[in-house]
Amino acid sequence: MLSSSSRLLRVLSLLQTRSHWAGPELAERLAVHPRTLRRDIDRLRQLGYPIHASSGVAGGYAFRAGQSLPPLLLDDEEALAVAIALQIAAAGTVSGVEESSLRALVKLEQVMPTRLRRRTGALRSAIVPVQRMGPTIDASVLATLATACRDQLQVGFSYRDLRGQASVRQVQPHGLVHTGHHWYLVAWDPARDDWRTFRIDRVQGTPRTGAHFAPRPPPAGDLRAYVTGAMAGVHPQGDQARVVLHQPREVMAKTIPPSAATLEAIDDTHCLMLCGTGQLDSLVYWLMALDVEFDVLEPPVLKERLRRASERVGRSLERGGG
């Protein structure tokens, strides 16, 4: 038989594993009488935990949103996961959460048992942060868009595309995807009658939410696959780079993953690479690092970027006596 305090912690732990527990089932799991369970629930409510109780055949207990944040119960692995996530967030790509993430991490470590503090310290010393990849975005913008996706609310915002052209968009948001370099919003654009991806760092100002909309099935099966395809130029959205590589398709497929580009065989010694042009400077570096002869068919701006890069390399060799 668990002590009263241990049983309360056990009740909290179980309530956090499901959205709803039937009363008899929860009492059986705790090996207590339903009256004892009701008293435990009342004590937890007095401590500030917003536990909702319902009666009837489908009656039971569930956590509900409260007026304040009560103490949070985490097991060892959950506490470590939260600590790692907070440490990453403090140096991540979402601006406005760095200081609050550090404060939360300090509070969490203060209440950790010694064994967990040692593990957290070991992780912190072993994890070496790298330079941020991609631009930072405003946390409030990300939160507004996430809420619109969850509640299926139309959202309007000012947007500046890759060419710097500004527009006002009114879309039906379906989800957010982080690629490791950028945050993207995937949304249905009624004005274009098609799906679109929007780089969130190019959203200008604060998005405005509007009326509800009926959800659609996600494009390409799931949002991450769609964004990956759009970046690789699989979906006809924006400019597309077309580059002939002087190697067979099966050879280049070992180096170029499907998430980066689409490869089409031309003949036994050449293949065509199709990819997006959202990051031209990265594409220039990537092509020069492939150690493969290539011919750029389009776009012209990629040819110009490569020409400039080649001239810089030539000047560097001349200055170095190469």
> What is the tens place of the pLDDT at every residue in 108-140?
777 778 888 888 777 766 666 555 556 778 888
Mean of all residue pLDDT scores within the chain = 82
pLDDT higher than threshold 70 for residue 49: yes
pLDDT higher than threshold 90 for residue 173: yes
Q: What is the mean pLDDT of residues 8-25?
A: 84
Q: Which of 4-8, 68-72, 149-153, 269-273 has the weakest average pLDDT?
A: 68-72
pLDDT band at 237 (very low <50, low <70, confident <90, very high): very low
In sequence order, what DSSP letters do the residues of 78-108 get, joined into one string?
HHHHHHHHHHHHHTSSEET-HHHHHHHHHHH
- The reported pLDDT for the residue numbered 322 is 55
> Percent of the chain scored above 90 by pLDDT?
25
Q: What is the mean pLDDT of residues 208-214?
A: 93
Instruction: Please give the radius of gyration of the chain, using alpha carbons only, rounded to the nearest integer.
Output: 27
Q: What is the mean pLDDT of residues 30-52?
A: 89
The pairing of beta strand 137-138 with beta strand 94-95: parallel
pLDDT higher than threshold 80 for residue 96: no
Distance from C-alpha of 261 to C-alpha of 234, rounded to nearest angstrom: 8
pLDDT band at 239 (very low <50, low <70, confident <90, very high): low
Q: What is the mean pLDDT of residues 186-215?
A: 92
Question: Please, what sign has the CA dihedral across residues 134, 138, 143, 149?
Answer: negative
Q: Token pair for residue 282? A: 């990265």
Q: What is the mean pLDDT of residues 23-51?
A: 89
**Residue type (1 letter), 113:** P
pLDDT higher than threshold 60 for residue 37: yes
- The reported pLDDT for the residue numbered 221 is 67
Strands (E), the chain: 21-22, 51-54, 60-63, 94-95, 137-138, 153-160, 166-178, 183-189, 194-199, 203-212, 240-245, 262-265, 271-276, 294-298
- The reported pLDDT for the residue numbered 235 is 47
- Which strands, in side-by-side order, build the sheet including 183-189? 194-199, 183-189, 166-178, 153-160, 203-212
Contact 262, 243 (CB under 8 A): no
pLDDT higher than threshold 80 for residue 310: yes
Q: What is the mean pLDDT of residues 154-180?
A: 89
Q: What is the mean pLDDT of residues 45-58?
A: 82
φ and ψ at 182, to 5 degrees?
A: -140, 155
The strand pairing partners of 178, in sequence order, are 183
pLDDT in tens, 76-90: 787 888 887 877 776
φ and ψ at 31, to 5 degrees?
A: 60, 45
- The reported pLDDT for the residue numbered 321 is 65
pLDDT higher than threshold 90 for residue 158: yes
- The reported pLDDT for the residue numbered 292 is 92
- The reported pLDDT for the residue numbered 1 is 46
pLDDT higher than threshold 80 for residue 259: no
pLDDT band at 66 (very low <50, low <70, confident <90, very high): low
